[in-house]
Amino acid sequence: MPELPDITVYIEALEARILGQTLEQVRLASPFLLRTIDPPLSAAQGKKVRALRRVGKRIAIGLEDDLWLVLHLMIAGRLHWRERGAKLARKNTPAAFDFSSGSLVLTEAGSQKRASLHVVSGEDSLCALDPGGIDIFEAGLAGFSAALTAANHTLKRALTDPRTFSGIGNAYSDEILHRAQLSPIALTQKLSQEDIQRLYDATKATLLDWIDRLRAEAKGEFPEKVTAFREGMAVHGRYGKPCPTCGAKVQRIRYAANETNYCARCQTGGRLLADRALSRLLREDWPRTLEELEALPRRAIPGSEAS
């Protein structure tokens, strides 16, 4: 699932191509993609793009008359920039958005169609699609600490919960925890202030680092290699390979459809995370799928406005 760094670079590429452009038409090949009926999708056609915004892991395209198209790519959705009116493939291409400057094409691999498009009117309706997690770049240490410790969850669960932190998912949470040298199953309310400070610094540094890397990789072109598994990652997707910090083999925790990668030497004091107590903890604290986590109802986080 594209996360904050990927979405940021997508939005920057879109700003360069469609900001100020008129949306001429939307070609919808899969009706299931559209999850709203009022306002109708036809209301967006013929309107100019006034803004682009990240809403968690969603991309929001703001049009004239305070109308918003909100795309959630989920796990397999990807965006592509093509010549104007580009022909849609018969399979796995649910929609295209045609502008005078070119066409934004949405593809979704696989048989499980989870990507979504919402058409909403007004700021309140747009905000209703936001799961409510804090933006790490807008929150200071106090706000970060309040969000992190509002409930007693494992660090992996807390970082990936969209109601707690905005835009962080499975891949970058692994990288953040490795940089912070913290266990993915450490409990948030058991952390020391030093641990929280280290996690806060690691979260910001990891996300900024990967935004810069993805910008450099795109080289001003539209990003086409959006993936959860990248060269240069420390532990995510690197099970059995050497940790770049200490050389020990990267380990993993498997639970349902999820996998977490970590370095036992750097993060858990050499302990391998595989026992009955861990299995019970995962059942109690970790949703079985990313979709399950994304679907959790929004909640208020006391002190989340703190800086």
Q: Is residue 155 part of a domain?
A: yes
Looking at the predicted structure, is the pLDDT value of residue 245 above 70?
A: yes
- Confidence label for 288 from pLDDT (cuts 50, 70 and 90): low
The parent domain of residue 114 ranges over: 4-127
Q: DSSP per residue over 47-110, as a string?
A: -BEEEEEEETTEEEEEEGGGEEEEEE-TTTEEEEEESTTPPPPSSS--EEEEETTEEEEEEE-S
Res 98: pLDDT: 98
Q: Which residues of 108-126 are buried (b: 16+ CB within 10 A; e: fewer)?
A: beeeeebbbbbbbbeeebb
Does one domain contain both 279 and 214? yes
- Confidence label for 113 from pLDDT (cuts 50, 70 and 90): confident
Does one domain contain both 116 and 209? no
Looking at the predicted structure, is the pLDDT value of residue 291 above 80?
A: no
Lowest-confidence region among 18-22, 86-90, 219-223: 86-90
Does one domain contain both 153 and 276? yes
Q: What is the pLDDT of residues 136-165, one digit of tens each?
A: 999 999 999 999 999 999 999 999 999 999
State which of 127, 160, 195 marks the end of a domain: 127
Burial of residue 83 (CB within 10 Å: 0-12, 13-18, 19+) is exposed
Does one domain contain both 241 and 172? yes
* CATH number assigned to the domain comprising residue 74: 3.20.190.10
Looking at the predicted structure, is the pLDDT value of residue 21 above 80?
A: yes
Q: Is residue 245 part of a domain?
A: yes
How many structural domains does the chain have? 2
Does one domain contain both 255 and 290? yes
Strand order in the sheet with 102-108: 23-28, 95-99, 102-108, 77-82
Does one domain contain both 82 and 152? no
* CATH number assigned to the domain comprising residue 243: 1.10.8.50
Does one domain contain both 114 and 147? no
Q: Is residue 149 part of a domain?
A: yes
Q: What is the pLDDT of residues 69-107, one digit of tens each?
A: 999 999 999 999 999 999 988 789 999 999 999 999 999
pLDDT (mean) for 4-13: 97
- Whether the full predicted model's pTM is greater than 0.85, yes or no, is yes
Does one domain contain both 119 and 237? no
State which of 99, 127, 155 marks the end of a domain: 127
Does one domain contain both 180 and 202? yes
Q: What is the pLDDT of residues 158-207, one digit of tens each?
A: 999 999 999 999 999 999 999 999 999 999 999 999 999 999 999 999 99
Q: Is residue 171 part of a domain?
A: yes
